[in-house]
Amino acid sequence: MMDSAKKSDALIMAEAIRLVGEGVSVTFPVNGRSMLPFIVGGRDSVILEKPVDLRVGDVVLAHAIPDNVAHLENAEKHYVIHRIVALSGDDVVLMGDGNLVQREYCKRSEVYAKVVCVVKPNGKKCLQSAWRSRIASKIWYILLPVRNYLLWIYRKVKK
């Protein structure tokens, strides 16, 4: 049975997906640490729009299954705002910038929105299509083997 907080979250998510599907931009608060250092949960928000022309490097809202349970027949999918790390036909592979190994899998039809902008607490908007954002995310992905050390330093400095 779903508790009331989960029901409320599910209703909010469903409404955001519906609005984006109708072509409305939706500003959505982000929780969690899986997109550090580019998106800080509990602080930043993202502006979601209808996904068009998905590319590796795009940050998206998707209904995905984690790789550690992907082999299970009744594995439960969950919503994530993560970066696309691979596209192959209809298959999409996602990974949070703050994750070290965890990946999620979904179909293109399960990508419900694309993050077009990250909104910082001071109101500053960082466009995800800007060349700086794209290059920074590519460099961050290349640094995957040492990302755990960089995230540790980031967390210590931000305290």
Distance between CA 70 and CA 59 in Å, rounded?
21
Query: Any residues with CB less than 8 A from the CB of 74 and at least 6 apart, and which?
Result: none
- Looking at the DSSP assignment, which residues form a beta bridge with residue 38? none
Question: Of 23-32, 40-49, 66-75, 113-122, which gets the smallest average pLDDT?
Answer: 66-75
Supply 84's token pair.
Answer: 């696309």
Supply 139's token pair.
Answer: 């460099």
Are the CB atoms for 87 and 57 separated by under 8 Å? no
Reported pTM: 0.90
pLDDT(159) > 60: yes
pLDDT of residue 68: 77
pLDDT of residue 67: 82
Query: Any residues with CB less than 8 A from the CB of 1 and at least 6 apart, and which?
Result: none
Torsion over CA: 84, 86, 90, 92 (sign): negative
pLDDT(149) > 60: yes
Reported confidence tier of residue 96, pLDDT bands at 50, 70, 90: very high
Distance between CA 28 and CA 12 in Å, rounded?
10
Higher per-residue confidence, 68 vs 146: 146
Of the options 2.10.109.10, 3.40.30.10, 3.40.50.800, 1.10.390.10, the CATH number for the domain spanning 4-158? 2.10.109.10
Distance between CA 130 and CA 146 in Å, rounded?
25
pLDDT(142) > 70: yes
Q: What is the DSSP letter of 50?
A: -
Return the percent helix, strand and coil in the chain, to nearest 5.
Answer: 30, 30, 40
Supply 137's token pair.
Answer: 């995310």
Residue spans of the domains in the chain: they are 4-158
